[in-house]
């Protein structure tokens, strides 16, 4: 299960080669830092501040979505387990049906519906600050990814319940909730939960950027992307960024444009780069964790 081998000390030189999650984590942070230095030199201040804000909003929104997904997923998994173990079949089937119904909705479509609700709340002035808007969109994102957490936790509980140590703890009078939360999930499933969280972080960034790009046409006469906190997706949808992206196409036919890409078209290219590079690194980190802990 877990990858540690007793007594085997990994030499420092081989650490990064062996721990690809760590390697890609360093590459990600390094890439972000290098991009920021480059933008600091070549991008005008208002645009640079906008890119910085987009990064912060996107990443904090994704982190919030992961946290909310973990909380909802953990709670739902425990609730389902409780219904199943106490043989409340009707309630169990009802909750399972509701979850499967939610699962059947395509994530992008579901999130669009969620954004419509967020728009409604914004119009009613229920959501006014950037923080509340980011949390609301994170909740929408979490609602369409949390079932992965439910599946993971239920699979871990099922696996460990078939092992003798759970029976041994039960006959010692240890309550099921302690066994599940502490002994199974915290002590024996942390690598799984961390890996899932990293994967969900990447998924959340992808969904947030996709939706923000899609809704760039505006959600209503009063609420548009200009009202919502700027994210990497919405930055990409701005006219300036689109022109920068189009410049990449021009560079294929006119090589003289290539040097200007990295100094004159920085806003769009850096935003596109940050999205693609982040998704690549997060994907590699998640894979690295899987390899390291043999999940």
- The Cα–Cα gap between 190 and 293 comes to 10
Nearer to other proteins, 97 or 165 (CB): 165
Cα(284)–Cα(23) distance, integer angstroms: 9
5 binds other proteins (CB under 8 A): yes
Q: Does 14 bind other proteins (CB under 8 A)?
A: no
Q: By CB under 8 A, name the one of 33, 41, 102, 178 that touches other proteins.
A: 178
Contact of 269 with 248, CB cutoff 8 Å: yes
164 lies in the binding site for other proteins (CB under 8 A): yes
Counting residues that bind other proteins (by CB under 8 A) gives 22
Is residue 245 a contact partner of residue 280, using CB atoms and an 8 Å limit?
no
Instruction: Identify whether the C-beta of residue 50 lies closer than 8 Å to the C-beta of residue 271.
Output: no
- Span from 29-37, 135-143, 174-182, 215-223 in contact with other proteins (CB under 8 A): 174-182
Of these, 34, 41, 168, 246, which contacts other proteins (CB under 8 A)?
168
Calculate the alpha carbon distances from 165 to 2, 37, 154, 185, 192 in Å.
Answer: 17, 53, 17, 14, 20
User: Can you tell me the distance from the alpha carbon of 177 to that of 169, in angstroms, rounded to the nearest whole number?
Assistant: 12
Q: Is 165 in the site for other proteins (CB under 8 A)?
A: yes
The interface region with other proteins, picked from 19-27, 61-69, 170-178, 213-221 by CB under 8 A, is 170-178
Record the tokens describing residue 279, joined without a space. 């998704």
* Interface with other proteins, residue 37, by CB under 8 A: no
- Interface with other proteins by CB under 8 A: which range of 7-15, 21-29, 57-65, 233-241? 7-15
Which residues are within 8 A (CB) of 4 and not within 5 positions of it... i.e. 6 or more apart?
none
170 near other proteins, rule: CB under 8 A: yes
Interacting stretch for other proteins, rule CB under 8 A, among 169-177, 193-201, 227-235, 248-256? 169-177
Q: Of 283 and 293, which has the nearer Cβ to other proteins?
A: 293
Write down the least CB distance from residue 194 to other proteins, Å.
Answer: 14
Measure Cα distances from 252 to 32, 249, 267, 271 in Å. Answer: 26, 6, 19, 20
Binding window for other proteins (CB under 8 A); candidates: 100-108, 160-168, 197-205, 273-281: 160-168
Cβ neighbors of 99 (< 8 A, separation 6 or more) are: 76, 147, 150
Closer Cβ to other proteins, 45 or 172, answer by number: 172
Interacting residue ranges for other proteins, rule: CB under 8 A: 2, 5-9, 163-165, 167-174, 178, 182-183, 187-188
């Amino acid at each position: 299960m877990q990858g540690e081998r007793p007594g085997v000390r990994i030499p420092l030189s081989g650490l990064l080669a062996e721990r690809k999650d760590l390697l890609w984590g360093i590459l990600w942070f390094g890439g972000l830092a290098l991009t920021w230095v480059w933008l600091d030199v070549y991008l005008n201040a208002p645009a640079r501040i906008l890119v910085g804000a987009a990064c912060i909003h996107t990443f904090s929104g994704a982190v919030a979505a992961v946290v909310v997904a973990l909380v909802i997923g953990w709670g739902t998994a425990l609730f389902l387990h409780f219904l199943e173990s106490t043989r409340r079949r009707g309630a169990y089937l009802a909750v399972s049906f509701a979850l499967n119904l939610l699962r059947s909705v395509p994530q992008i479509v579901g999130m669009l519906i969620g954004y419509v609700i967020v728009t409604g709340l914004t119009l009613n002035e229920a959501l006014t600050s950037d923080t509340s808007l980011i949390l609301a969109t994170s909740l929408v994102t979490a609602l369409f990814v949390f079932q992965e957490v439910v599946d993971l936790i239920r699979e871990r509980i099922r696996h460990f319940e078939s092992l003798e140590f759970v029976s041994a703890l039960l006959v010692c009078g240890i309550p099921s909730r302690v066994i599940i939360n502490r002994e199974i999930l915290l002590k024996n499933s942390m690598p799984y939960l961390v890996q899932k969280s990293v994967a969900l972080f990447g998924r959340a960034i992808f969904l947030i950027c996709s939706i923000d790009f899609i809704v760039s046409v505006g959600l209503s006469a009063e609420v548009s992307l200009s009202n919502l906190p700027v994210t990497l997706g919405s930055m990409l949808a701005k006219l300036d960024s689109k022109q920068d992206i189009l410049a990449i196409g021009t560079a294929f036919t006119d090589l003289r444009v290539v040097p200007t890409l990295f100094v004159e078209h920085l806003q769009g290219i850096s935003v596109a780069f940050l999205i693609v590079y982040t998704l690549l690194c997060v994907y590699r980190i998640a894979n690295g964790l899987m390899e390291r802990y043999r999940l």
